[in-house]
Amino acid sequence: MSKHQVAVVSRRQFLRTTAGAGLGLAFAEQVLADPFRPLLAATEKRSFFTVRGAVTANGRGLGNVVVSDGVSVVATDRDGTFTFPADSSSKFVFLSLPSGYDVPVSQSGTAALFRALPPRSTREVTVEWDLTPAASGDDHHGFLLLADPQLLDAADVASFNAETIPDVIETRRRLGSLPLFGVSCGDIMFEHLEFYAGYEEAVQRTGMPFFQVPGNHDVDNTALTDETSVETFTRLFGPGNYSFNKGEVHYVVLDDVLWIDNGYIGYLSQAQLDWLTADLSFVEKGKTVILFMHIPPYCTQHVREGKPRPDRGLVIVNREALYRVLEPYRAHVVVGHMHESEHLTDGGAHIHVCGAVCGAWWSGPMCGDGTPKGYGIYEIRGSDVRWRYKSTGLPPDHQLAVYPAGSEPQIPESVIANVWDYDPSWTVVWYEDGERKGRMEMRRGLDPMAVKLYAGPDLPARHSWADPYITDHLFHARPSAPGKKIVVEATDRWGRVATGTSG
């Protein structure tokens, strides 16, 4: 048998069992109090059945291709065949697509790396994949990261089709022959799961394979357990945890939403961590690994708001366990959830918090921190990862907004610049009437336009609960006199320059 690993019963599985007995919330509190506490003795009886199969291309077997049921992780033999004992709880067998091959897709254009397993009355199951070699290789490739479409109703689906999808299609055209795939990074729906069909029809128009990440609003919110909360999602898109390869990069999708007590927390079970460890055992140490999740492992919203700790629904409460698994790799964790932009490093991983496709839930042109509604463009060359935020309906070099003096009441004589994709490697400088004045001062505060659009109990009109957010990616400078022409110049880590003007 090829190399494989079988994970033990996880604390998440035990949580589901105890939740059924009315102990779910209390047990969750215990988990949060000590995420690394040893697993309590499992009482659930487990069984296995045999999965056999093959991975081929052009009529020949492909060796060393990774296949999993979410518990066992195996590599195909030289002839492309594999055999392993699947766990009785497994619902899918999925392929970790090898580099150099096209992404298999469903009729709706979404990625189809999985095979649903039949009822357990069958003692042995056979699954097969026949892959198509990529026409031009994929060492140089890219992906578009669409966070939080949040489709609530037919009007949102129409906006997604009228605004986002044409912009994505234009971006694909502009990038020419670069092989691309799309990622919808959670909260595809806003609880009304009947609009998944509208989403599928929309992404099919892009002509790109799309991968889906489960978010906290992609669940059946009447579900009584975490497992049943994602039944609609998995029926359409397959497992919430899987991986694939493109060029030199290994990609992983993880479901980090733990649905409990009609709510959720950010959490990764021991079973998920065991599977991830086994999956990464086939990846050379030091390689670039990109994870797609919905809830960020960590963010700084609580710091900006003066709170002592993050809300347990805004971060992964046991993120240190994830960082331990990722430590040997060059890790990027790409997420949504926050409806704002932020770049930070935590636990050795670069965390990309991407602005929302829907902005403030389709009730205005921007997120609460002033980030325009849009999506991320990522370009990969070998192991090098480059990115840029793309504002929907605006040119690719639209990377900042400049507000004239008087826009911020607390510093009324200062010009304000919002550089939403900022990270500490950027430089932000300003010019007055053509004279370079130096770096702008970073400032924590509210975007002036977000305040105008969303502040107050009756704004915005469609969702009055959407508010402006305190952000760290604001900059300010004080002109020498009123009426001066102010130009702000922001340069990213790769030397790309974007400008904005006031006055």
Cβ neighbours of residue 319 closer than 8 Å, sequence gap 6 or more: 266, 268, 297, 298, 346, 347
* Percent of the chain residues past pLDDT 90, beyond the cut: 86
Asked if residue 269 lies in contact with residue 278, where contact means CB atoms within 8 angstroms, the answer is no
For 469-501, how does the pLDDT look when each residue is reduced to its tens digit (9 = 90+)? Answer: 999 999 999 999 999 999 999 999 999 999 999
20 alpha carbon, distance to own chain's centre? 30
pLDDT digits (tens, 9 = 90+) for 263-315: 999 999 999 999 999 999 999 999 999 999 999 999 999 999 999 999 999 99
What percent of the chain clears pLDDT 70, i.e. is strictly above it? 90
What CATH number belongs to 140-391?
3.60.21.10
CA–CA distance from 476 to each of 33, 37, 429, 480 (Å)?
41, 47, 10, 13
The residues of the chain that CATH labels 3.60.21.10 are 140-391
Q: Are strands 288-292 and 330-335 parallel, antiparallel or unpaired?
A: parallel
Query: What is the value of pTM for the model shown?
Result: 0.91
Confidence of residue 8 (pLDDT cuts 50, 70, 90): very low
**CA–CA separation, 332 and 349 (whole Å):** 6
What does the chain come to in residues?
503
Range(s) for CATH 2.60.40.10 in the chain? 11-131
Domain formed by 401-502, architecture: Sandwich (2.60)
Structurally, at CATH architecture level, domain 11-131 sits in Sandwich (2.60)
What integer pLDDT is reported at residue 262 of this predicted model? Answer: 83
